Amino acid sequence: MQRIELAMEAEIGKYKKFLKEAEVSVFFSDLVSCKMFGINHNNAGWAASIIKVPVMMEYFYLIDSQKIRLEDRLKIRHDYALGKSRLLWMPDRAEITIENLISLMIIESDNLAANMLIDSIGLSEINHLTGMLGCDNTKISHLLLKGANIEYPGVGGKEWNE
């Protein structure tokens, strides 16, 4: 594991001049030996699309506990759009299955699908799951939107970085 850690640090070092002020954080866990290491892994940072994984996990938990079904449908909300989305080709308020939204969110990294799913179950449910998994520093505080410090009624009028 130490060899991997040294190699990872060297690889990240190659990109420091391109990253400028950015900080890279990684965490590894060997599933066989249970050995772990991280580089800046306790530092808060911007999760980008990786935050979609706990969204999907929360939906699978709700499906497993029979609170919702993959066949359940949500209405498309064009006002949730961020960039390109296949869903923008469909009429606003048309219905789509949760299964299709999860697929779009994960396979195509569709932010509109992610926003619909997040808003449907709520930020607190996703954060509760990450806490239960021991990921206490992994939080989702807003929908996936452009800009910063903007108010969005879908998130209770809270600002992005509160």
> What's residue 109's pLDDT?
92
Q: What percent of the chain has pLDDT over 90?
A: 44
CA–CA distance, 32 with 29 (Å, rounded to integer): 9
> What's residue 47's pLDDT?
74
**For range 140-159, the mean pLDDT:** 53
- pLDDT at residue 19 is higher than 80: no
Q: What values do phi and psi take at 88, rounded to 5?
A: -70, -15
> What's residue 144's pLDDT?
84
Q: What is the three-state SS of 109-131?
A: CCHHHHHHHHHHHCHHHHHHHHH
Confidence of residue 3 (pLDDT cuts 50, 70, 90): confident
Average pLDDT, the chain: 83
